[in-house]
Structure 1
Amino acid sequence: MSDALHIRLCQSWDANADAWTRVVRDGAIPSRRAGTDAAVVEATLKGLPPGGRVLDVGCGEGWLSRALAALGATVHGVDGSAGLIESAREGGGSFDVVSYGAAEADPARLGGPYDAAVFNFALLDESVAGTLRAAASRLDAGGRVIVQTVHPIAVDPPYADGWRQESFASMAEGFEPMPWYFRTLGSWVRALGTAGLGLTEVVEPTDPDTGHPLSLILVAEPR
């Protein structure tokens, strides 16, 4: 069952590439406006040297790569969706089609070395340790891995690892439903450990109006 859901997850990004590009560029996602975009940019730039090298894994249509580059970073984005990479390249920058499976099999395909690797809502599969390990292997000494993901308390019960479905009901038309894998905070810490990473910082951006958590940001370093 999990293999079938993995395949559907991968296929959904190609199917939704145009719709996703549109809502991102239209600023149509409230949580991003409220703070998740700014939070991941800040977390990635923290401690980055001038002109620091960043790997944007699961870069989508490239907004984060462009935002970091505009602030002085040297950024390379990769994504398994050819449609999303095509959209990313339209805005300029360095982007390649590299699936997570290909990166795990040959981490050199990710390029590098880098000072940081960032996953912005880009680890949605049941198995993530291999992808984290591949990205971490491309870091220079002192490099960091930054993961922004769904905050566990912002999701309906049960509080347990498992597959869920994103219907995109709050979005504009044009989306196909997408399976994604929810994991608890403890599960995230274990995944980082399995990948050879040690957690160094936890950031919990909150909505300035409601005070509710918008996301969870985990910062880790190779052990």
Structure 2
Amino acid sequence: MNEEIRFVSEKSQNKVIHEWDLIAPERDAQVAADRDASFSSVLQPWVLSRLGESRTVIDVGCGTGRLTSSLQLSNRRSMGLDPSASSIAIAREHDSKSDYVIATVEEWTAANPDARFDLVVANMVLMDVLRLDDVCAALGHLGQGGRVLLTFTHPAFWPLYWGYASNPGFDYSKETLVEAPFKTSSHEFALTATHVHRPLSKYIDALQESGLELSHFEELRGPEDPAVFPFPRFIGIEAEPRQKLTT
């Protein structure tokens, strides 16, 4: 068992946002220098390969905007949304073409009820949100005009990868708040991040209840050699609304 990892009974949204405010500068420097192989060789390519003909894109939980800026083209409008003010400030510094807003997706959707996008992207977001049902409902609302692309950690194998699957307090079938040192495949930060373990069925149910139907489901391996870790670490999902808006 990894002794640095803790299960906690509750956590506020503000505390989670504060963790990301602290992580943002070092995290952005790592991604900008192409030192996160999971992002550069697995997650970002998967998202970019599924853009299609979308002209309006919102990147939910955009962090410091490195993926958002890669979505921006002369004929495509991209917007980044994140509750971390520190992350958005960094995004605005390196990307003046995309629009960036400090807000949770639930807050922004409630304030902009008529907003719709050809493509809604949430890259490595769902395992970090506290209110999964509310977030999926907002994603489904924004994506009524098109599609939703999601990536998140594989709940069947992430606990094994992080070393807490053997913790006697861990139960795959239960939702669990997990505090751990933030790390990527190539670097561990001296800062804490919180994610939520949920069984895979919880994600599928939340998406379906939000009016989304899965059109593509893919288990994504990490960049490491299979001899190091032989299981997929991420999940990629493309979903579409059951009833699309008509014009």
- Give the TM-score taking structure 1 as reference length: 0.84
Q: CA deviation at 1:72?
A: 5.4
Match of 2:39 among 7, 22, 32: 32
CA RMSD, Structure 1 to Structure 2 (Å):
2.5
Which stretches in structure 1 are left out of the alignment for 5+ residues? none
Match of 2:192 among 177, 186, 199: 177
2:55–2:76: 8 Å Cα contact kept in structure 1? Answer: yes
Tell me the equivalent position of 1:66: 69
Q: Which segments of structure 1 move beyond 6 Å, counting only runs of 4 or more? A: none
Counterpart amino acid of residue 138 in structure 1: L
Judging changes above 3 Å, is the alpha-carbon distance between structure 1 residues 38 and 183 closer, same or farther for their aligned structure 2 residues?
A: same
Tell me the equivalent position of 2:162: none
Query: What secondary structure does 2:118 align onto?
Result: strand
Tell me the equivalent position of 1:168: 182
Query: What secondary structure does 1:78 align onto?
Result: strand
d(CA) in 2 for partners of 1:81, 1:2: 23
d(CA) in 1 for partners of 2:131, 2:232: 25
1:54–1:118: 8 Å Cα contact kept in structure 2? Answer: yes
- Tell me the percent identity: 25
d(CA) in 1 for partners of 2:179, 2:11: 14
d(CA) in 1 for partners of 2:13, 2:237: 23
Query: What secondary structure does 2:86 align onto?
Result: helix
Query: What secondary structure does 1:177 align onto?
Result: strand
Tell me the equivalent position of 2:79: 76
Tell me the equivalent position of 1:89: 92
- Give the TM-score taking structure 2 as reference length: 0.77
2:179–2:192: 8 Å Cα contact kept in structure 1? Answer: yes
Judging changes above 3 Å, is the alpha-carbon distance between structure 1 residues 75 and 162 closer, same or farther for their aligned structure 2 residues?
A: same
The one-character-per-residue Cα deviations of 1:172-197 (angstroms, maximum 9, x if unpaired) are 55x42011111221111011122222
The one-character-per-residue Cα deviations of 1:114-134 (angstroms, maximum 9, x if unpaired) are 111010012212312212222
**Computing the radius of gyration over CA atoms, which structure comes out larger, 1 or 2?**
2
How many residues align? The count is 215
Judging changes above 3 Å, is the alpha-carbon distance between structure 1 residues 169 and 150 closer, same or farther for their aligned structure 2 residues?
A: closer
Tell me the equivalent position of 1:106: 111
d(CA) in 2 for partners of 1:57, 1:125: 11
Is 1:213 the counterpart of 2:232? The answer is yes
Tell me the equivalent position of 2:5: none
